[in-house]
Structure 1
Amino acid sequence: MYSKVDVLRDKLKAFFIHFAFSIVLVLAAYLLVQLLWYPAPLFKATDASKLFVMILVVDLVLGPILTFVIYKKNKKTLRTDLVVIILVQLSALCYGLYSMYEARPVWIAYVADRFELVRVNDIIEEDKQKHNWPRFGPEYIYVDLSQLNESEQLDSILKETQYNISPAQRPKFYNDFDLAKPLIIKNSQDVALLNNYNDSIEVTRILKRYPLANSFIPLKAKAVDMTVLIDIENQGRIIKIVDLRPW
């Protein structure tokens, strides 16, 4: 006789099988996001965790729970029901990943005396079709304001002061990153200053991993500002973006 205990046992078995499948999916999605679109520590800098948590809830919780609810051994429509649940789950995952892809950081733009992290959805609409941006991880670029004429400079200042649109959000101002190296060397700060804004033990630990880092430039980001370590003795070479506050 097929008792209620047997029904519950089968439901729990189906739940945990689906849960294990969901864990594999979520881990694969996390690796994709971290390795290709949000390399550390940019995941934290952009606060992408909020969107990823939504993906986590839908795929890790909702799918297995629906399986638990509908599962009944020998049910005629069981296979169809499970296929529908899996398709819905995969669709939700794909939509979530697409949303993260569309919000990914694409440029680390040097502007005046700092870097700014630019995401796809930061770029203003009128400039979006005028520049190709990286698909897998951000690249360094120089926001060259010296090329602007007087009218363009006034327009840039107006957009920044009235509409909070940074020049870094305007690909029309972009230029080859190597042209920024003299400014980076000139404006970089000694790494010792990082102790003023961070725990000194953490600063020491990170700098030991990058012994060639002797200077830094702040990186302004959406959620948490980061630090770009520089080797000014090697033509301003970028060493690493690290999870330290620059101010």
Structure 2
Amino acid sequence: MYCCNGCITSVWHFWYPYPYREISGGRELFVLVVTVDIFLGPLITLAVFNRRKSPIELRRDLTVTGLLQLAALGYGLWTVAVARPVHMVFEIDRFRVVQAIDVDETLLSQTPKSVQALPVAGPTLLAVRHFKDDKERMEATLAALQGVSLASRPDLWRPYEEATADVLKEAKPAIHLLTRFPANVAEIELVLEKVGRKPSNVVYLPLVGRKSFWTVFLDPVTAQVLTTMPLDSF
């Protein structure tokens, strides 16, 4: 059981580094998987273990319990895999965290060669390219209305470095947040202080997650992502 939970814990930290575990609901998923594994492990073992059983019966019951636990571990790892965040994508005027299950599989063949569609080494930073024409814009808009976000479409991805000018064009001075959210001034300043910055020399954009909205702080010259915080800055 400890081996199983240790495996899940290692994968969780690898695939769900901070802040993605918070933005994508990874913490709740991890708790659910580990809880199920615990119930199917030692608790069921205690329930079926009985010294009055014959060695054959006991061996059979413990084998079934072990198989159930392995099946639960496999399902848990599969769930963690398909729900893992794979990209943080700049999408026109915001960032959006894309999970593996969000990616349109029918468009995977159109992923740019410079982009890894479903990385296993943790989330990467990407951007949505400009539309080729009005027809593509209309098709993408209709797809978005049906729940397929632009950020989850491999055919629209491009390296983040190519979008620096677009990112900085949409980004806003972080100092504006101090006026918009007076109750969060101390928290904002503390978050930026940890990366050696002040609100006066940082810009920001909103970040859309599966369950919440965050804020991404960026360098005003390079558009480098500096840090994030759980603040709805839309």
TM-score by length of 2: 0.84
Match of 2:114 in 1: none
Q: What is the CA distance between 1:230 and its match in structure 2? A: 0.8
Match of 1:245 in 2: 232
**Distance (Å, rounded) in 2 between the aligned partners of 1:81 and 1:130:** 50
**Distance (Å, rounded) in 1 between the aligned partners of 2:106 and 2:100:** 13
Is residue 194–residue 245 contact of structure 1 (8 Å, CA) maintained in 2? no
**Distance (Å, rounded) in 2 between the aligned partners of 1:76 and 1:166:** 57
**Residue 178 (structure 1) aligned with residue 157 (structure 2):** no
Match of 1:32 in 2: 11
**Residue 225 (structure 1) aligned with residue 204 (structure 2):** no
* TM alignment of 1:111-190, pairs within 5 A: 111-131=91-111, 132-146=117-131, 148-161=132-145, 163-190=146-173
SS state of the match for residue 145, structure 1?
A: coil
* TM alignment of 1:46-85, pairs within 5 A: 46-73=24-51, 75-77=54-56, 78-85=58-65
- CA change 1:45–1:232 in 2 (3 A) is same
Alignment RMSD (CA, Å): 2.2
Unaligned runs of 5+ in 1: 1-20
**Partner amino acid for 1:159?**
A
Unaligned runs of 5+ in 2: 112-116
Q: What is the CA distance between 1:65 and its match in structure 2? A: 1.5
**Partner amino acid for 1:25?**
C
- CA change 1:243–1:28 in 2 (3 A) is farther
**Partner amino acid for 2:122?**
G
**Distance (Å, rounded) in 2 between the aligned partners of 1:121 and 1:29:** 19
Q: What is the CA distance between 1:82 and its match in structure 2? A: 2.3
TM-score by length of 1: 0.80
**Partner amino acid for 1:155?**
E
Is residue 41–residue 243 contact of structure 1 (8 Å, CA) maintained in 2? no
**Residue 192 (structure 1) aligned with residue 175 (structure 2):** yes
SS state of the match for residue 97, structure 2?
A: strand
* TM alignment of 1:91-130, pairs within 5 A: 91-130=71-110
**Partner amino acid for 2:138?**
L
Structure with greater helix share of residues? 1
Match of 1:211 in 2: 196
Give CA deviations for 1:144-176 in whole Å, capped at 9, x if unaligned.
124x12211121122223x13221121111122
